[in-house]
Amino acid sequence: MSELPLPPLEFRRIVGPTDPKLFDNPTGQPVFGDLREEAYSTVLDFGCGCGRVARQLIQQHVRPRRYLGIDRHKGMVEWCQANLMPWAPGFDFQHHDVFHEILNPQGTPGHLPLPAADGEVTLFIAYSVFTHLLEADVEFYLREVGRILSHGGVAVTTWFLFDKRNFPMMQEFQNALFINALDPTNAVIVDRGWLSTQISSAGLAMTRITPPGIRGFQWTIHLEPEREDRIPLTFPEDDAPRGLARPPIR
């Protein structure tokens, strides 16, 4: 699989990781080793970029039966269609034609439904995606995850989180912080209490919460369809050491 094309450096810079090793899966082991094998049946990769996770899944010993990667950067989607799809039957990439001032300036404002049927998806991947969505879009796409996820399916998501109670000047409808005045989606930090409410409203439950490796960086949260017998999870403390992991500047 050494001939599997590597995305060009210009695309890797946009998505963040540039080291070729971060795009490879030389052991062929499951990309998410803590998930059940059946989770890889039907995969939707939301924000697939230039195919980092797709490339790893293609190198997995047991590939997903079906994989669909979507992204609003048309150029990266077209690169994946031309360079990755020929290597992997059952893999597809589609342009999610949603507006972004830099990445997709001609796209549809707001948000669009995810291209999957109700209850169809066994594994939903949103790595470094909800960290770049505004509040209304987070609400919409969480509902979409609740719609498309199968009964035994799981969503692997990442988030920047804060506690709104530490910001008493914020009003009820304000639940996110931003770091970039020119591009608010550069990094979006959402209130954990608000997020818990939105997850529940979407018919989902948090089944695994992994704190960041660098204090304040991305939390990994696994979501599954809500069940009456689930024990609600609470957020652990973020006790990670301080460090830097800056988002890409677009």
Annotated domain spans of the chain: 9-225
Residue 2: pLDDT band (50, 70, 90) is low
Contacts of 58 (CB under 8 A, 6+ apart): 1, 4, 84, 87, 88, 91
DSSP state of 247: P
Dihedral sign, Cα of residue 39, residue 41, residue 47, residue 48: positive
Q: What is the pLDDT of residue 249?
A: 62
pLDDT at 189 over 90: yes
Q: What is the pLDDT of residue 246?
A: 83
Task: Determine the Cα–Cα distance for residues 221 and 200; give it in Å rounded to an integer.
Answer: 13
C-alpha dist (Å) from residue 181 to 83, 187, 216: 36, 11, 20
Residue 201: pLDDT band (50, 70, 90) is very high
Q: What is the pLDDT of residue 1?
A: 47
Task: Determine the Cα–Cα distance for residues 73 and 236; give it in Å rounded to an integer.
Answer: 35
To the nearest whole percent, how much of the chain has pLDDT over 70? Answer: 98
pLDDT at 129 over 50: yes
How do residues 35-81 score in pLDDT, each as one tens digit? 999 999 999 999 999 999 999 999 999 999 999 999 999 999 999 99
Superfamily of domain 9-225: Vaccinia Virus protein VP39 (3.40.50.150)
How do residues 69-115 score in pLDDT, each as one tens digit? 999 999 999 999 999 999 999 999 999 999 999 899 999 999 999 99
How high does pLDDT run on average in the chain?
95
